[in-house]
Amino acid sequence: MKTTLKSAAKRLGLAVGLAAAAVAPAAAWEPTKAVTLIIPAGTGGGADQMARFIQGVIQKHELLSKPVIVVNKGGGAGAEGFLEMKASASDPHKIIITLSNLFTTPLGTGTPFSWKDMKPVRMMALDQFILWVNAEKPYKTAKEYIDAVKEAPDRQFKMGGTGSKQEDQIITTAIEHETGGKKFTYVPYDGGGKVAVQLVGGHVDSSVNNPIEAVAQWRGGQLRPLCIFDTKRSTYTQKVTDSQSWADIPTCEESGLPTNYQMLRGIFTTKNATPEQVAFYADLLKKVMETPDWKEFMEKGAFNQTTMTGADFEAWLTDAEAKHRTLMQGAGFLAASAQ
Amino acid sequence: MEELAALAGGFAVAVTPYNIALMVLGIVLGVVIGVLPGLGGANGVAILLPLTFSMEPTSAIIMLTSIYWGALFGGAITAILFNIPGEPWSVATTFDGHPMAQRGKADEALVGAFTSSFVGAIFAVALITFLAPVVAKFALRFGPAEFFAVQFLTFASFIGMGRGSPAKTIASMCLGFALACVGLDGVTGSLRMTFGHEELLNGFKFLVAVIGLFGIGEILTSMEDGLKFSGADAKLRMDAVIRTWRQLPKMTGTFIRSCIVGCWMGITPGGATPASFMGYGLAKRFSKNGKNFGKGELEGVVAPETAAHAAGTAAMLPMLTLGIPGSPTAAVLLGGLLIWGLQPGPLLFVEQKDFVWGLIASMYMGNIVGLIIVLTCVPLFAAILRVPFSIVAPAIVVVCAIGAYTVNNAMFDVWMMLVFGVMGYLFSKLGYPLPPLVLALVLGDQAESSFRQAMLISQGDVSVFWSNWLCGAIMTLGVVMAFWPIVSAVIAKFKGPDHVARAA
């Protein structure tokens, strides 16, 4: 027994020494088996696209010696995926991509989890929201549109959006603070692409689609962007249509609609992951973000390329969770058990 | 004829030895994926998507769409042989396909299924080739009210399908609706009927239910019948293709009806699964052989397969021109397009001519190659039935279990599959029809959310379903279909007492 202990100690010492030697440039931990990347949403949506893109970039540039397996666990507005992360707290081979349902699902459905049940790795980007109307409608600015809503009977204007009690409906509620008590009729659909097409078909009056969901219809002259829900204009100045770039879209604030909202596109790992494990993933994702493929992807979707790790990211998350709670409480979206 | 020139250009892009090789590879993979229940076309394409990032976009989409064609073909194989639909859209194929296999006509059923899949697909590709812009505009007219009208029509064309008592049909359908309600309610965003169980968050997935109800249920029934497949001793003859093709010209009406229904459902987008049910329902009602449906009628295989494949192919059209996927697989392909740097939407046909026409040309090619591959394999597939039950049955149970597990990567689904299996067995013992349950389970939540979206928009006014000619016409047609037994009785009465006497 003694000898085993001794040799174990010796080996441990050796391992510590090796780790110390290796610590300087590279992270000390590496996955020992395939890494599972969970998508808490269905196939084909924004989170799904980004996750599969990350998987593709890792594979193409051989950034990881072990394979990455992508699985969709979108049940219960993503609760299924988050609960799996919570249940496998000690398995560092699982990572998850998040969207706003990280906050809205526990608050709206009362499913017991929070971002604190996982370990934040890196904010990859923030997804933007834009107020869109059908190009055949006369509204040229957000102010004109909001004025029309103010003058019309209550609930006459229809806002199409993805899901219920999620980001699109939260933004709609926020807009309603500026319409003098007039409400929208919010119509929930099951995907952003569908919302954009319903807007083109004139079945709803406006949407708050993400840029990538509606860019094709904008370029085709069927939809018109009124304003972007960010504090600053987009930084992408390359022309998207014949005459306009993303940077030409005014912020909602400068159009007299003081509302802003962005959606987190971040990666988390499981709760009991060690600092080395978190550092490994943060570093891996940094390499992904440095590829030209990623930069092109960001520009196509007009993403806000803010990225954070560690304490900054945690502070951002705490803040965002509080913001969602306030917004959802104000709108009466909180589930009984989340109040 | 501008389209023909463009199409010729497309063939020049698509037909290279490299692309043909990818096509064959894709179709073989697709057939395997289609055969395995649970591992659907959408999963197969999603798994292989990252592999294609370093390929040319045209080659990549040729390979991925070939997987899709293969899966469309392959779904019918297990449906006919073992009563296990490999894909959701092959459920309706089991209704007559499996009885055919039991009567020793598995090879004819397979040839019929493959051939009609091919016909449906080619019809839809031709539509895409020549009418893409017009059709895309038409799809824009579909709002929630119109979607509900189409779903209502699907249900209506299916009422009266059950051979048993109408009360049992309604009971079965209601159970399907109840199962479809479990999980997240998309309109209010709250959980329904989960009773605090995390496993139920996802609801009852259609595939798990179908694998259990049909696959496991069938195994249980076969065990009772003395551990063998009926039809196993059928002689295998190599002339199955010619024998079947000779019967097909008589079914021209069914082919045309199913092609139109399929394209319509693919474009609007309703999807291949409702299309297959609607194709079957309509054929049963309007075909001369309608009353024999369910006993192993070739036409009952042709109708759903033609419609499903036409819909699956036509689903590519709204994806390319509008950026909305007409099926789950199209949704994954759509993600792929974005990753390859292509923006689907109104401008794709203008800006990416090579890609679009290469893809369309590959649709023709892929289906021809696919038909040749699956037809040559018919004797092989049919021979599986000659393997003793005691060897095949455990293998089927294992494949079913893997399939059920794959749907959500959840062990819970495997237990659910077994529960559904027992339920399927009891249903057939007690004379409750399964198809209404399955239809309600697959379409229930879509119909519900369309109805509620329409009600939100109209602020609770039901007349919204007759607010324009398109929606009104579909709804009226649906109502007529739902009451068809009464309508036909009235017609018979006006025709004179002779007919009534004969009908009675």
Residue with tokens 């009266």: B160
Q: What pLDDT band is residue B228 in, cutting at 50, 70 and 90?
A: low
- CB within 8 Å: A219 and B456: no
**Single-letter amino acid code for the residue at B69:** W
Closest CA to B52 of B42, B65, B64, B44: B64
Sign for the CA dihedral angle at B453, B459, B461, B465 comes to negative
What is the C-alpha separation between B86 and B89, in angstroms, rounded? 8
Residue with tokens 């027992």: B422
- CB within 8 Å: B456 and A187: yes
What pLDDT digit, counting tens, does each position of B394-424 carry?
888 888 888 888 777 788 999 999 999 999 9
Contact list in B for residue A110 (CB cut-off 8 A) is 191
What is the C-alpha separation between B170 and B178, in angstroms, rounded? 12
Contact list in A for residue B326 (CB cut-off 8 A) is none
Q: Which residue of A has its CA nearest to B410?
A: A73
Q: What pLDDT band is residue B229 in, cutting at 50, 70 and 90?
A: low
CB–CB contacts below 8 A, A to B:
158
Calculate mean pLDDT across residues B433-456: 88
Contact B283, B293 (CB under 8 A): yes
Contact list in B for residue A165 (CB cut-off 8 A) is 188-190
Q: Which residues contact A152 (CB under 8 A, 6 or more apart)?
A: A182
Q: Which residues contact A229 (CB under 8 A, 6 or more apart)?
A: A128, A129, A130, A131, A171, A208, A251, A252, A259, A260, A261, A262
Of A43, A191, A198, the CB nearest to B143: A198
Which tokens in the block code for residue B386?
């000659």
ipTM above 0.90, yes or no: no
CB-count exposure of residue B94 (10 Å: 0-12, 13-18, 19+): buried
Of B191, B325, B341, the CB nearest to A193: B325
Q: What pLDDT band is residue B497 in, cutting at 50, 70 and 90?
A: low
The four Cα atoms A286, A288, A291, A297 give a dihedral, to 10 degrees, of -110
Q: B156 pairs with which residues across the strands?
A: none
Contact list in A for residue B351 (CB cut-off 8 A) is none
SS3 state of residue B489:
helix
Which tokens in the block code for residue B91?
């459920």
Q: What pLDDT band is residue B160 in, cutting at 50, 70 and 90?
A: low
The four Cα atoms B155, B160, B162, B165 give a dihedral, to 10 degrees, of 130
What is the C-alpha separation between B234 and B266, in angstroms, rounded? 37
Tell me which range, A39-43, B34-38, B188-192, B366-370, is most confidently predicted by mean pLDDT: B366-370
Of B189, B335, B347, the CB nearest to A164: B189
Alpha helices in B315-410 (DSSP H): 316-322, 328-339, 348-351, 353-376, 378-383, 389-408
Mean pLDDT per 10-residue section of chain A, whose length is 339 residues:
45 45 58 92 78 86 88 86 93 94 92 93 95 96 94 93 91 91 91 87 94 88 94 92 94 92 95 95 96 90 93 95 92 82
For the beta carbon of residue A333, count every other beta carbon within 10 angstroms.
22
Q: Which residue of B has its CA nearest to A101?
A: B189
What is the residue-averaged pLDDT of chain B? 83
Give exposure, B211-234, as e/b (b: 16+ Cβ within 10 Å): bbbbbbbbbbebeeeeeebebbeb
Contact list in B for residue A109 (CB cut-off 8 A) is 184, 189-191
Of A44, A300, A333, the CB nearest to B325: A44
CA atoms within 13 A on the CB side of B191: 30
| B377, containing H or E segment | none
Closest CA to A332 of A173, A112, A129, A191: A173
In angstroms, the Cα distances linking B269 to A44, A159, A320, B174 are 15, 21, 37, 25
φ, ψ for residue A95, nearest 5 deg: -130, 160
Domain ranges in chain B are 2-467
What is the C-alpha separation between A22 and A14, in angstroms, rounded? 12
Q: Which residue of B has its CA nearest to A221?
A: B346
Of A43, A57, A59, the CB nearest to B332: A43
What is the C-alpha separation between B51 and B47, in angstroms, rounded? 8
pLDDT of residue B128: 86
Check residue A333 and give left, alpha or beta (phi > 0: left; psi -120 to 50: alpha): alpha
Contact B313, A188 (CB under 8 A): no
pLDDT of residue B50: 74
What is the C-alpha separation between B189 and B202, in angstroms, rounded? 13
Contact list in B for residue A59 (CB cut-off 8 A) is 50-51, 53
Alpha helices in B37-156 (DSSP H): 41-48, 57-82, 91-102, 106-139, 144-156
Q: What pLDDT band is residue B110 in, cutting at 50, 70 and 90?
A: very high
DSSP B84: -
Q: Which of B342, B409, B468 to mutate to test the interface with A (most CBs of A within 10 A)?
A: B409
Q: Which of A50, A80, A238 to mutate to test the interface with B (most CBs of B within 10 A)?
A: A80
**Cα of B331 to nearest chain A Cα, Å:** 5
Contact list in A for residue B51 (CB cut-off 8 A) is 59
Contact A260, A232 (CB under 8 A): no
Q: What pLDDT band is residue B230 in, cutting at 50, 70 and 90?
A: low
Which tokens in the block code for residue A141?
């600015």
The four Cα atoms B471, B472, B473, B477 give a dihedral, to 10 degrees, of 100
**∠B200-B433-B94 over CA atoms, to 5°?**
90
Closest CA to B68 of B150, B151, B110, B125: B125
For the beta carbon of residue A90, count every other beta carbon within 10 angstroms.
9
In angstroms, the Cα distances linking A137 to A76, A302, B137 are 36, 24, 18
Q: Which residues contact B314 (CB under 8 A, 6 or more apart)?
A: B124, B127, B128, B262, B263, B264, B265, B266, B267, B326
pLDDT of residue A6: 46
Long-range pairs for A215-219 at CB < 8 Å and ≥24 separation? A215/A240, A215/A300, A215/A301, A215/A302, A215/B343, A215/B345, A216/B323, A216/B343, A216/B344, A216/B345, A216/B346, A216/B347, A216/B348, A217/B323, A217/B345, A217/B346, A218/A132, A219/B343, A219/B345, A219/B346, A219/B347
**Cα of B431 to nearest chain A Cα, Å:** 33
- CB within 8 Å: A52 and B457: no
Contact A184, A158 (CB under 8 A): yes
What is the C-alpha separation between B49 and B144, in angstroms, rounded? 32
* pLDDT of residue B82 exceeding 90: no
pLDDT of residue B420: 94
- Strands A35-39 and A206-207: what pairing? unpaired
pLDDT of residue A97: 96
Alpha helices in B204-251 (DSSP H): 206-210, 217-224, 240-247
What is the greatest pairwise CA distance in chain B? 73
Closest CA to B475 of B160, B140, B150, B142: B150
Q: Which residue of A has its CA nearest to B446?
A: A190
- CB within 8 Å: A49 and B345: no
**Single-letter amino acid code for the residue at A330:** G
**Single-letter amino acid code for the residue at A99:** L
- CB within 8 Å: B347 and A219: yes
pLDDT of residue B25: 92
**Cα of A147 to nearest chain B Cα, Å:** 21
* pLDDT of residue B482 exceeding 60: yes
Contact A131, A145 (CB under 8 A): yes
Least trusted range by pLDDT, from A4-8, A83-87, B118-122, B320-324: A4-8
- CB within 8 Å: B198 and A48: no
Report the share of chain B in percent with pLDDT over 90: 20
pLDDT of residue A19: 44
For the beta carbon of residue A287, count every other beta carbon within 10 angstroms.
14
Q: A96 pairs with which residues across the strands?
A: A38, A268
Calculate mean pLDDT across residues B473-478: 89
Closest CA to B142 of A202, A196, A220: A202
φ, ψ for residue A86, nearest 5 deg: -65, -40
Calculate mean pLDDT across residues B445-464: 90
What is the C-alpha separation between A23 and A225, in angstroms, rounded? 49
- CB within 8 Å: A155 and B459: yes
Calculate mean pLDDT across residues B229-241: 62
Q: A68 pairs with which residues across the strands?
A: A35
- Distance separating the N- and C-terminal Cα atoms of chain B: 55
What is the C-alpha separation between A143 and A146, in angstroms, rounded? 5
Q: What pLDDT band is residue B234 in, cutting at 50, 70 and 90?
A: low
Q: What are the structural domains of chain A?
A: 34-127+263-338 (3.40.190.150), 130-248 (3.40.190.10)
CB-count exposure of residue B79 (10 Å: 0-12, 13-18, 19+): buried
Q: Which residue of B has its CA nearest to A75?
A: B202
pTM over 0.80: yes
Closest CA to B273 of B326, B323, B226: B326
**Cα of A194 to nearest chain B Cα, Å:** 6
